[in-house]
Structure 1
Amino acid sequence: PLVDLSAGWDLSRLYALGHKLQQGESRGEPTAAEVPGPTRRTLDDFAGYAELKAHLRMLLDVFMEANRGGDLLINKLPIASGILLYGPSGVGKSFLIECLRGSVAVPVIEARCETLFSKYLGDSELRLRQVFARARNSAPCILVFDNIDAIGAPRSLSASENSVQTRLLSTLLNELDGVGDRQRPSMGTPAEETLGETSPTREVLVVATVRSPELLDAALLRPGRLGARLQLDVPTSEEREEILRSAFAGMKLGSGIDLSDVGTHPALDGAVGAELAALAKDAAMRSLRRQARADADESNLTGASHGAPPHLEIGIDDIRAAMNSLGS
């Protein structure tokens, strides 16, 4: 032949690569899904939002019990096809996912949407299919997509019908339509079982987060996909108090400080969980600096060095200063 195609090529390696691609494996780049390490956090550690947590627990309990072949009542309840947690940035969606991980007895796989995108044609869709394949192999499990709008934006915002974004969305919709579906034997009467009645269940529960459902393609929100929607809104004054108590837990507060008064202060209207946690840290740092300066001044006057770290007690002035600097 004019060209020896085998020259300089390891044909066995080429064959192995082709086999991997046929089996749905991508090009050896970082995986788009991971199983996070264990956490001690549970839903009880997520302050506030009692009604939302109760609804989420109910959805998780039905999913878990159904996959254990639970009692008759549970087996007759509809199982959520997917859960969408939505709310503005900073309300704690990612932290809620961490608390969810510590509250269930099945694996939780987190999909990293940013690693799904590839420069190779078709590889992005392949990686997304890999994520769902891994979830099915680990079933029963929970599959999490944090900030799912990265791959689920409305098709009208895509550059073209053949754009990576559009192809990823189509793949996502197809996978959601069949994720973890199986048929379980009916828990009804022997006559019903004789008729071969079965009731559907899901071995993979998809949980996704987004700032607003409006950032997603309408097809994702149809029943059978991300059908259960739970809103984490800006916390109320009562919820702010709960979040502040959690944020200040383990810190010594000065006498006369009432966190219920702090939670209802007008300066905190509209503050979200991340801002309240930052306020607690800021107040603690201000107290530390203030008392360190006081100890240094005392050492200069007496000529003696304490050697021990300053005693940390957060005062009302520390909290007020932290509130004033919030958002600045």
Structure 2
Amino acid sequence: MRAVLKSNSKIKEGSDSGLEGSGTEFTREVVLKPAGYPLIGLIDDDPFIEDLELFEAYVREQWEGFEVRKGTYLFDRDLFKGFAYRVIDAKPDGLAIGPQTRILIAPSKDVVESATEKTNPSVLFDDIIGQSAAKKKCRLIERYLEDPESFGKWAPRNVLFYGPSGTGKTMLAKALAGKVKVPIIPIKATQLIGEFVGEGARQIHDLYERAEEMAPCIIFIDEIDAIALDRKFQELRGDVVEIVNALITEMDGLSDRKGVCTIGSTNRAQSLDSAVRSRFEEEIEFVLPDEHEIEQIIRSNFATFPLPVDPNFNVKNFAKEARGLSGRDLTDKILKTALHRAIIEDEKIVAAANFKEALAELKKSDPTSDCQRLYV
């Protein structure tokens, strides 16, 4: 439950108490950001400010005369005793809050809101070569997002994408959102680790509240293993434990958020905390491309090259040598390296040797000279 500060009457600005600052000059503008309580469990959420003009008067009444500097904190002494606001900016810095100081509040949901993406029709299922089994399983999510009401308690609310890095997990999530024409909130798990105790858990709840407002909607948590490792590793950081607990609460569906599908992504499924992994009703595996798919990936990328490719380059044979590489490694570490080398050398075409040298360098970078072991 959000605590709301609102009123139809305006509080008289200023204060009759003695000023704790000195001098007659005051800062013109202060930007604050809710930082939370020093101790967790005091309130479920940040105080929600509905009337900024009223909040300014409330702030000036208790903090007038207090010197403010960027990076310091101001603590509420009345309605929400002990709640901290961090000073993000003060103009000029180092002066006291005065009767005319303007108070601004920085958004507390910046991570969630900045991550939100609308439907991206530029990412299509056809752009993802291979992963036929994963695409087939995604039909379940597609049908749920098209008609959430029809699934009832059988909704696929939590789905895990797992497999080697660079195999198209993020692309498929965006393609799915584009096909169903629903918004997607893609976010890195590490972004959910807040600077203050309690902030990470609030960001989890903010994330799901925003998704509910936009439903039907996909929440895509990339590298979920960064926060949801086995409990013995979580205990090294108390804030991660509380983030995982908040995530489990949301995934359990204690708050009925219809039309919200959580997709977690990881290349370390075996390292996930069992309590988190058990919340995923479906697990969809992503695999490394086979020789035929590697050939398709290479040829599809040739169409966008700014230079022509050596007609004598045998793509089929090269695909056999490149077994064990992901699609991302093929594009970023083989094709891009070969193209850049040709451009640097002022060549008119991308020679077959450029591709072979790039592959040899990539294999050489791994002590085992075995591409398959790049993902162990």
Q: TM-score, normalised by structure 2?
A: 0.63
Using a 3 Å threshold, how does the CA distance of structure 1 residues 63 and 7 change in structure 2: closer, same or farther? farther
Partner of 1:235: 289
Q: Find the partner of 1:155 among 231, 234, 247.
A: 231
Partner of 1:66: 147
CA drift at 1:84:
0.8
Structure 2: which 5+ runs fail to align? Answer: 1-14, 21-55, 60-75, 84-104, 366-376
Using a 3 Å threshold, how does the CA distance of structure 1 residues 205 and 30 change in structure 2: closer, same or farther? closer
CA distance in 1, matches of 2:195, 2:152: 46
Partner of 1:133: 209
1:18-33 equivalence runs, <5 A: 18=80, 28-29=107-108, 31-33=110-112
Q: Which has the higher helix share?
A: 1
CA drift at 1:64:
2.4
Using a 3 Å threshold, how does the CA distance of structure 1 residues 83 and 285 change in structure 2: closer, same or farther? same
Q: Find the partner of 2:248 among 173, 197, 203.
A: 173
Matched, 1:43 2:43: no
- Residue 132 of structure 1 contacts residue 179 of structure 1 at CA under 8 Å; is this kept in 2? no
Partner of 1:325: 361
1:158-307 equivalence runs, <5 A: 158-159=234-235, 163-178=238-253, 181=256, 202-222=258-278, 225-251=279-305, 252-265=308-321, 268-278=322-332, 279-290=334-345, 292=346
Report % sequence identity: 24
Using a 3 Å threshold, how does the CA distance of structure 1 residues 16 and 205 change in structure 2: closer, same or farther? farther
Most deviating of 42-51 and 76-85:
76-85
Give the letter for the 2:141 counterpart: L
Most deviating of 113-122 and 126-135:
113-122
Partner of 2:24: none
Partner of 1:114: 190
Task: Pick 1 or 2: higher relative contact order, CA cutoff 8 A, min separation 6.
Answer: 1
CA distance in 1, matches of 2:248, 2:238: 16
CA drift at 1:136:
1.0
CA drift at 1:114:
2.3
CA distance in 1, matches of 2:181, 2:254: 20
SS at structure 2 position matched to 1:41: coil
Using a 3 Å threshold, how does the CA distance of structure 1 residues 18 and 28 change in structure 2: closer, same or farther? farther
Q: Which has the higher strand share?
A: 2
Partner of 1:53: 135
CA distance in 2, matches of 1:37, 1:154: 33
Using a 3 Å threshold, how does the CA distance of structure 1 residues 263 and 16 change in structure 2: closer, same or farther? farther
- Residue 47 of structure 1 contacts residue 246 of structure 1 at CA under 8 Å; is this kept in 2? no
Q: Find the partner of 2:58 among 12, 30, 42.
A: 12
CA drift at 1:135:
0.9
CA drift at 1:47:
1.5
CA distance in 2, matches of 1:280, 1:137: 42
CA drift at 1:204:
0.2
SS at structure 1 position matched to 2:179: coil
Per-residue CA deviations over 1:15-52 (Å, capped at 9, x if unaligned) read: 99849x8xxxx984562312136531112111221222
SS at structure 2 position matched to 1:91: coil
- Residue 31 of structure 1 contacts residue 115 of structure 1 at CA under 8 Å; is this kept in 2? no
Structure 1: which 5+ runs fail to align? Answer: 183-201, 294-310
Per-residue CA deviations over 1:256-300 (Å, capped at 9, x if unaligned) read: 3342222112xx23211121002111222233334x26xxxxxxx
CA distance in 2, matches of 1:166, 1:206: 19
Give the letter for the 1:65 counterpart: E
Give the letter for the 1:282 counterpart: T
CA distance in 1, matches of 2:170, 2:153: 28
Q: TM-score, normalised by structure 1?
A: 0.71
Per-residue CA deviations over 1:2-24 (Å, capped at 9, x if unaligned) read: xx9966597713499849x8xxx
- Residue 229 of structure 2 contacts residue 272 of structure 2 at CA under 8 Å; is this kept in 1? yes
CA drift at 1:205:
0.5
Paired residues, what number?
A: 271
SS at structure 2 position matched to 1:257: coil
CA drift at 1:86:
1.0
* Cα RMSD, aligned residues only: 3.2
CA drift at 1:170:
1.1
